[in-house]
Structure 1
């Protein structure tokens, strides 16, 4: 495997598990962070001149929630956490410039994942209550 692929897999593998008590029952939820990469080339490349192209990349952190007891209430939690940067040269399909640079943000991605999991506690309990109310009827 190439180094950039390993870094991308490490960034995608950031997980955080929590245990929630709901009406006397322990439930586990696993939150997984992944990044959606976008890149674009800016600048011009002209013959007889220095290459002025740059590859601008942006990585948006997306958090997926999955409950341990089944696929119910699994969802993607929208976040606004982004990392960006640029490198000299054009963006090419095999370059993966953003994935290589995400390694320096791994601690921030993991901290953001914990924040999202903590903030999701209330909405998750509300969803569990609504499912329980529907099941009772």
Structure 2
């Protein structure tokens, strides 16, 4: 059995930056979310100890939104992953990955800041592109 869940960490990480573009101040908000995948491995046989384990993997994805509207909103996929396992089968109400992901909150926040800094050049290029199209 395999479960795929999209979950937010207990305290969703957000980071706001201010960008100056041709004399205007623009705000961009970056929000990290975790795409959770869980899979039950092992066997459950009668008259024996339960050998099942719930393996979970959380991939961190960052969403960018500009304060001035939905233009240039973007999802930034990253390769940051966290994983773990617990005894027993994966069930929808268990939320073992989200519960264990909370202990990595500081790493997620640091990764979010790094992604926002790396995205700055791309955001400015997109703003220039939109401005050039609008001036034609």
Tell me which interval the TM-score lies in, with the shorter structure as reference length. Answer: over 0.9
Shift of 1:9: 3.5
Runs of 4+ in 1 over 2 A off after TM superposition: none
**1:103 Cα offset (Å):** 1.1
Q: Distance in 2 between matches of 1:57 and 1:122?
A: 34
- Tell me the equivalent position of 1:123: 122
CA distance in 2, matches of 1:8, 1:74: 21
1:42 aligns with 2:34: no
TM-score (norm 1): 0.92
- For structure 1, which runs of at least 5 residues remain unmatched after alignment? 1-6
What residue in structure 2 maps to residue 112 of structure 1?
111
Contact map agreement 2:57 2:83 (CA 8 A) in 1? yes
Map of 1:8 onto structure 2? 9
Counterparts of 1:94 and 1:68, CA distance in 2: 35
Please name the residue that 2:72 is paired with. 73
Question: Relative to total residues, which structure has the larger helix share, 1 or 2?
Answer: 1
How big is the shift at 1:8? 3.3
How far the C-alpha of 1:97 sits from its partner, in A, is: 0.5
CA shift for structure 1 position 65: 0.2
Q: How far off its partner does 1:39 sit?
A: 0.1
What's the TM-score once normalised by structure 2's chain length?
0.93
1:98 aligns with 2:97: yes
Structure 2 unaligned segments of length 5 or more: list them. 1-7
